[in-house]
Amino acid sequence: MDNVEKLRKAFAEALQISEDVITDDLKYNSIKEWDSVAHMALVAELEDVFDIMLDTDDIIEMSSVMKAREILTKYNVEFS
């Protein structure tokens, strides 16, 4: 499984939504499933899946799927 797919799966799992809904444009608070409680679950899921530890600033900057990719890149997670 490549990282793009892993990311989609992580979002789907944490937000408990279908993978079809997950596009780069999907933003925090734009759907009811991505609220602050789900955001905590998302952080845990991403840390688990990519075996990283996110900085606090990155957690609160992660306001869209696109932003999550950008941030993960800083942790040497590559999206080809």
Phi, psi of 13 (to 5 degrees): -70, -50
Q: Is 36 in the site for another protein (CB under 8 A)?
A: yes
24, 30, 60, 74: residue in contact with another protein (rule CB under 8 A):
60
Q: Is 43 in the site for another protein (CB under 8 A)?
A: yes
1, 2, 56, 78: residue in contact with another protein (rule CB under 8 A):
56
Distance CA 29, CA 1 (A): 28
DSSP string covering 6-29: HHHHHHHHHHT--GGG--TT-BTT
Instruction: Evaluate whether 49 touches 3 at the Cβ level (below 8 Å).
Output: no
4, 16, 27, 48: residue in contact with another protein (rule CB under 8 A):
16
Which residues of the shown chain bind another protein in the complex (CB under 8 A)?
15-16, 28-29, 32-33, 35-41, 43, 56, 59-61, 63
